[in-house]
Chains A and B, each alone.
Chain A
Amino acid sequence: MRRRDPAVPIAVLVAALALAPLPLLLGPFWQSLLVNVLMYAALATAWALFSGPTRYVSLATAAFFGIGAYTTAFLGEALPLPLVYPAAALAGAVVAAVVGLSTLRLSGVYFVIFTFGLAELIRQLVTYAEARLGGTVGRFVFVDVTPRGIYWLLLAVCVLVFLVGWWIGRSRLGWALRAIGDDEIAARHCGVDTTRTKVAVFAISATLISLVGAIMAPRWTYIDPAIAFNPILSFQVLIMALLGGAGRLFGPLLGVVPLAVLFELLQANFPNAFSVLLGLVFLGVVYLLPRGVVGLIEQGRGALRLARRTHPRPAA
Chain B
Amino acid sequence: MPPRFTPDRRALLGGIATAAVLGTAARAQARPVRIGYSISKTGPNAGGANTTTLPNYQLWARTVNEAGGLRLPDGQRRPIELIEYDDRSQSEEAVRNVDRLINQDRADLVLPPWGTALNLAVGPVLNRAGYPHLAVTSVTDRIPELVQRWPNAFFFLGRSSAAAEALVSALQGLRQEHGLGSTVALVSVQDQFGIELMNAGRAALNRAGFRILMDRQYPLGSQDLSPIIAEAARANPEIFIAFSYPPDTLALTEQARIANFNPKVFYTAVGTAFPLFRQRFGNNAEGVTGIGGVDTQSPAIRDYIARHTQVIGRPPDGWASPVTYASLQVLEQAIAQVGVDRPALIRAIASGTFETVIGTVRLENNQRVRQWWVGQWQGGEFVAVGPPGVPGVQPIRFPKPAWGAA
Contact = CB atoms under 8 A, between A and B. Distances in A.
Contacts of A124: 219
Given A33-B96, A137-B191, A267-B97, A227 B117 contact: yes
B86 A271 contact: yes
Given A127-B190, A128-B190, A136-B196, A222 B121 contact: yes
Interface string A103-140: 00000000000000000000010011001000111101
A269 interface: yes
A275 B42 CA distance: 9
A167 interface: no
A60 B90 CA distance: 19
Interface string A253-291: 000000001001101110110110000000000000000
Given A29-B99, A271-B84, A275-B42, A232 B217 contact: no
B195 A131 contact: yes
B93 A138 contact: no
Contacts of B121: 219-222
A109 B129 CA distance: 48
Contacts of A235: none
A131 to B, nearest CB: 4
A140 B142 contact: yes
Nearest to B1: A30
A47 B142 CA distance: 37
Nearest to A273: B86
Interface in B71-118: 84-86, 88, 90-93, 95-97, 99-100, 102-104, 116-117
Contact of B192 (A27, A137, A220): A137
Contact of A274 (B88, B116, B128, B196): B88
A209 to B, nearest CB: 16
B142 A269 contact: no
A36 B84 CA distance: 21
Interface string A205-241: 0000000000010011111101100101000000000
Contacts of B142: 140
A272 B128 CA distance: 28
Given A33-B96, A267-B93, A271-B84, A127 B220 contact: yes
- Give the interface size bracket for A toward B: 35 or more
A222 B120 contact: yes
A32 interface: yes
Given A264-B2, A269-B2, A127 B95 contact: no
B10 interface: yes
Contacts of A302: none
A272 B39 CA distance: 11
Contacts of B90: 227, 230, 232
Contacts of B93: 267
Contacts of B120: 140, 220-222
Contacts of A166: none
B392 interface: no
B199 interface: yes
B175 interface: no
A135 B199 contact: yes
B103 A268 contact: no
A273 to B, nearest CB: 10
Interface in A135-168: 135-138, 140, 142
A28 interface: yes
Contacts of A137: 190-192, 195
Contacts of B2: 261, 264-265, 268-269
A142 B127 CA distance: 14
B97 A219 contact: no
A95 to B, nearest CB: 21
Contact of B92 (A219, A265, A268): A219
A272 B40 CA distance: 11
Contacts of B104: 29, 268
Contact of A36 (B96, B124, B190): B96
Given A140-B120, A265-B2, 19 more contacts: A28-B102, A28-B128, A28-B129, A127-B190, A135-B199, A136-B192, A138-B116, A138-B191, A220-B92, A222-B121, A224-B191, A224-B192, A226-B44, A227-B90, A268-B85, A268-B100, A268-B104, A272-B41, A274-B42
Interface of A: 27-29, 32-33, 36, 124, 127-128, 131, 135-138, 140, 142, 216, 219-224, 226-227, 230, 232, 261, 264-265, 267-269, 271-272, 274-275
28 contacts: A32-B95, A32-B96, A36-B92, A124-B219, A127-B190, A127-B220, A131-B190, A135-B195, A137-B190, A137-B195, A138-B140, A138-B191, A216-B92, A219-B91, A219-B95, A220-B95, A221-B123, A222-B91, A224-B191, A227-B90, A227-B91, A264-B2, A265-B3, A267-B86, A269-B2, A269-B5, A271-B86, A275-B42
